[in-house]
Amino acid sequence: MVILKALLGMKTEIVYSDVFRKHDTISHPENAERTLVMMNALKEASFYDDLSFIDPPVLPEEMLYHIHNQRMIFEIKQISETKTAWLDLDTYVCKDDFDTARRAAGGTLALAKRVLDGRADNGFAVVRPPGHHATPTTSMGFCLFNNVSISAYELAKFGHKILIFDPDVHHGNGTQEVFYARNDVLYQSFHVSPHFPGTGKIEEIGKGKGKGYNMNAPLAHGNGEEAVQQIIDDIFIPAAEQFNPDLILVSSGFDSHHADRMGGLHLTVDYFGDLLKQFQQIQPKMVCTLEGGYNLDWIGKCLVSQVGQLAGFPQHFEDTTTEKNTSQKVYTKLKKKLQPFWKL
């Protein structure tokens, strides 16, 4: 039976550990409830028994230094030895977080390696704390270390081309900064604007040999699937196809769902799975890692939508919203800006 499943089905792996619940503080939107709700939703999904689970290993400390600076790493390490403390108004560090946050990064990397070398077909790292706002020098926006960037960095080192697709409602400023001058990691983000962290403008397309390898679609509040889809169809997917990545990493933020109080975009649950489906046509080797998403009534369904798509069991949920598509200017300007680098 196991052999038959291995021959016929997709091998989708989930990285998760209860250790992530240790990163928690009262009344913060990025809390331990999030992954609890998501894992419970997954347990109720019809395809749950088809999933495999792996424990997140701790990322070796020296790998942090490849993308983050010493001061930032030391600060987290020091706080984590004794107490909970705040790095800024948004971002907290708990006791043992030096271990917990390295498991979030290490779990994402372990899964990415397994998918790249064929031990798994694809997977989702349900990890916390999130990562895409952590810059080379600063932990911020609920993020301690940049999980997705650490994975991309470690794999690109061996000559692999990595696409990072970031549909979180916030711009992944940290990820953009890490790879801004590189052409072996392509970063594509749509996000709502104006919004935290204030970066992610159309003009930010990379520098040096990385020019053209950083793509931002800053959409207005109230834009939804129609606006996003035009960007995906005519800019992100054609560029991704030409880039021809060896692996796709997805910064899976569920705060672009229409009911998220930290959001502003109007996406429905099914669209989270649909987004992956479209990128799977470019490269089926895909690993999602959890970023934002704060509406506890919806984030479980968003996760089930994406994991269902990865595992070959597309899901459908009743969910409707309205959309005011005002993205034409962004679309036209972004396309023009990137045309010197890609056939669009």
Active site residue 133: yes
Q: Specify whether the CB–CB gap between 73 and 116 falls below 8 A.
A: no
Pattern 15-44, Zn ion, x by CB under 5 A = ------------------------------
Q: Considering the complex, what minimum distance in angstroms separates the CB of residue 291 from Zn ion?
A: 6
Among 172, 253, 264, 300, which residue interacts with Zn ion (rule: CB under 5 A)?
253
Distance CA 232, CA 247 (A): 18
Beta carbons of 327 and 220 less than 8 angstroms apart = yes
* Residue of 132, 133, 191, 258 with catalytic role: 133
Q: Is 43 left (phi over 0), alpha (psi -120 to 50) or beta?
A: alpha
List binders of Zn ion among 263-322 (CB under 5 A): 292
For residue 118, the Cα-to-chain-centroid distance in whole angstroms is: 21
Nearest to 215 by CA among 137, 263, 159, 163: 163
Task: Find the helix packing angle between 147-156 and 97-116, rounded to 10°.
Answer: 40
Q: Please report how close the Cβ of residue 293 comes to Zn ion at its closest, in angstroms.
A: 7
Minimum CB separation of residue 292 from Zn ion in Å reads 3
Residue 15 CB burial class (10 angstroms; 0-12, 13-18, ≥19): buried
> Which of 255, 260, 274, 323 is the binder for Zn ion (CB under 5 A)?
255
8 Å CB contact between 179 and 149: yes
When the beta carbons of 114 and 133 are compared against Zn ion, the nearer one is 133
Q: Nearer Cβ to Zn ion, position 80 or 188?
A: 188
Site string for Zn ion, 72-111 (x = CB under 5 A): ----------------------------------------
Site string for Zn ion, 210-249 (x = CB under 5 A): ----------------------------------------
Among residues 54 and 250, whose Cβ is nearest to Zn ion? Answer: 250
Residue 265 CB, nearest approach to Zn ion (Å)? 10
Tokens 């900064």 correspond to what residue? 177
Whether 160 contacts 182, CB under 8 Å? no
Q: With respect to Zn ion, which residue has the nearer C-beta, 275 or 311?
A: 275
Tokens of 213: 């390898």
Q: Which is nearer to Zn ion, 13 or 168 (CB)?
A: 168
Residue 34 tokens read as: 């999030």
How many C-beta atoms surround the C-beta of residue 47 within 10 A? Answer: 19
Interface of this chain with Zn ion, residues 129 to 188, rule: CB under 5 A: 168, 170
The catalytic site residues sit at: 133
Task: Give contact residues for Zn ion (rule: CB under 5 A).
Answer: 168, 170, 253, 255, 292
